[in-house]
Amino acid sequence: MDLGGGVITEGVNEPSRRLPLLGIPEDLSGKRVLDIGAWDGFYTFECERRGAELVLATDSFCWNGEGWGTKAGFDLAHRASNSKAKTLEIDVLDMTPQNVGQFDLVLFLGVLYHMKHPLLCLEKVAAVTREMLILETQVDFLGTKRPTMAFYEGQELYADDTNWWGPNPSCIVSMLLTAGFQNAAVYSDIVPWPRRVFRAFSRKLKYGGRFLHELQRSRMVFHATKRRAY
């Protein structure tokens, strides 16, 4: 993350490269935004930069030290950027309109496939979404049209035992509609076909998976709306 003054943090990825693929509205003036699974807060601060009236960043798994880090990175970036974003340590399954409120835009990026109960999770997310949800997640079975979901046992997916599910796109759309959204669709594919082929080869070598299985996996962005689209 760019903290200003020429200071750029080191990290395992550059979220700025993925930013154009998410479809976050350029102008968030007057909007209330909820960033679920904020971790170090890149998208929290980006929504604030785009004029959001209020941004609430939430996390649990990463901030309380049981995941891949702590809240220290977020707090450092929060101070460095003079952010006014609010924070709340809470699991997504504990969220209700009563304890967090409702938001015009909800970001749910890189979280769904870590959840043991994905449909219940999306119902919780839908309850706190007033207008629009942007969801980014692992997908699988890309050659299958019928709503289907892969269950990753143990460390099956990239040697990470916190990865549980890989729904295909039609499954995610169906779950979003079932959870209470009026409209839902694929917005973008994070991993284009040529890169997917290269990644399938490299991950076959690294994790011992099957090449054809890897080709069916990607990361995708979905947009879902309640009352109106942006």
For the cut 90, the answer to whether the pLDDT of residue 1 exceeds it is: no
Report the Cα–Cα distance between both ends of the chain, in Å, rounded: 27
Q: Which two tokens stand for residue 98?
A: 């009563």
For the cut 80, the answer to whether the pLDDT of residue 193 exceeds it is: no
Q: Which two tokens stand for residue 198?
A: 């290269």
Fold of the domain spanning 2-8+24-225: Rossmann fold (3.40.50)
Averaged over 200-219, what is the pLDDT?
73
Q: Look at residue 222 and give its three-state secondary structure.
A: strand
Give the model's pLDDT for residue 201.
67
Backbone angles phi and psi of 135, in degrees to 5? -115, 130
CA distance 208 to 129: 40
CA distance 229 to 185: 12
Greatest mean pLDDT among 115-119, 197-201, 204-208? 115-119
For the cut 90, the answer to whether the pLDDT of residue 52 exceeds it is: yes
Averaged over 129-141, what is the pLDDT?
96
Q: Residue 221 — pLDDT band, cuts 50, 70, 90?
A: very high
Kindly list the domain boundaries of the chain, sorted by start residue: 2-8+24-225
For the cut 80, the answer to whether the pLDDT of residue 156 exceeds it is: no
Q: What is the mean pLDDT of the chain?
A: 90
Give the model's pLDDT for residue 68.
67
Q: Quick one: DSSP state of residue 66?
A: S
Give the model's pLDDT for residue 168.
97
More confident call, 157 vs 147: 147
Q: Residue 125 — pLDDT band, cuts 50, 70, 90?
A: very high
| 45 residue type, one letter | F
Give the model's pLDDT for residue 173.
98
More confident call, 109 vs 155: 109
For the cut 60, the answer to whether the pLDDT of residue 228 exceeds it is: no
Q: Exposed, middle or buried, 2 (CB in 10 Å: 0-12/13-18/19+)?
A: middle
| 188 residue type, one letter | S
Q: Look at residue 150 and give its three-state secondary structure.
A: strand
pLDDT tens digits, residue range 59-114? 998 888 665 678 999 999 999 989 999 999 999 999 999 999 999 999 999 999 99
Q: Residue 211 — pLDDT band, cuts 50, 70, 90?
A: low
Question: What is the per-residue DSSP string for 7-41?
Answer: EE---S--HHHHHHHHT--S--BT-EEEEET-TT-
Give the model's pLDDT for residue 148.
96
**Range with the poorest average pLDDT among 14-18, 84-88, 110-114, 134-138:** 14-18
| 27 residue type, one letter | D
Place of tokens 């909820």: 34
Averaged over 124-151, what is the pLDDT?
96
Q: Which two tokens stand for residue 192?
A: 């284009």
Q: Quick one: DSSP state of residue 40?
A: T
Give the model's pLDDT for residue 3.
84
Please state, in angstroms and as integers, the Cα–Cα distance from residue 132 to each residue in 25, 113, 125, 140, 230, following that order: 10, 20, 11, 24, 8
